[in-house]
Amino acid sequence: MNNSIALVTGANTGIGKEIARQLVAAGLTVYAAARDAERGERAVAELGRGTRPLMLDVTDADSIAAAASQVPDLDILVNNAGISLDGKTPDKETAESFRWVYETNVFGVVAVTNAFLPALRRSEHPRIVNISSGTGSLTLAAEREAGGFAAYRSSKAALNALTIFYAHTLGAHGFKVNALAPGLRRTGLNAVAAASGGDPAEAAAGAVYLALLPDDGPNGQFLSWDGTQVPW
Residue 190 DSSP one-character state = S
Find residue 229's DSSP bridge partners. Answer: 223
State the virtual CA torsion across 67, 69, 72, 73 in degrees, nearest 10: 20
CA–CA distances in Å: residue 22 to residues 15, 49, 91, 95, 153: 11, 12, 40, 38, 27
Residue 40 to residue 206: CA distance in whole angstroms: 23
The answer to whether 92 is a known catalytic residue is: no
Give burial (CB, 10 Å; 0-12/13-18/19+) of 34: buried
- The yes-or-no answer on residue 176 being catalytic is no
- Tell me the helix, strand and coil percentages in the chain, rounded to 5: 50, 15, 35
Helix (H, G, I), strand (E, B), or coil: what is residue 147? coil
Q: Which residue out of 156, 166, 176, 209 is catalytically annotated?
A: 156
The residues facing 54 across adjacent strands are 33
State whether residue 220 is helix, strand or coil: coil
Distance CA(95)–CA(90), nearest Å, equals 9
Which residue in the list 31, 152, 166, 209 is annotated as catalytic?
152
Q: Of the candidates 130, 150, 42, 35, which has an alpha carbon nearest to the alpha carbon of residue 89? A: 150
* Catalytic sites, residue numbers: 152, 156
